[in-house]
Amino acid sequence: MERTLVLLKPDAMVRGFAGKIIARFEDAALKIVGIKMKQMDAEFTRRHYFDLEERLGAEVYNLTSTFMQQGPVIALVLEGFDAVATVRKIVGSTYPNEAPAGTVRGDFSHYSRGASTASGKAVANLVHASGNKAEADQELELWFDKDELHDYRTLAEIFTY
Question: How much of the chain is helix, strand and coil, in % rounded to 5?
Answer: 50, 15, 35
Q: Is 110 marked active-site?
A: no
Q: List the catalytic residue out of 48, 110, 128, 150.
A: 128
List, in order, residues 6 or more apart from 136 with CB less than 8 Å away.
2, 3, 4, 5, 83, 84, 130
Residue whose C-alpha is closest to residue 96's, from 127, 51, 118, 53? 127
Listed in sequence order, the DSSP H helices in 1-154 are 10-14, 18-27, 42-48, 52-56, 58-68, 83-91, 104-108, 113-119, 133-143
Kindly list the catalytic residues: 128
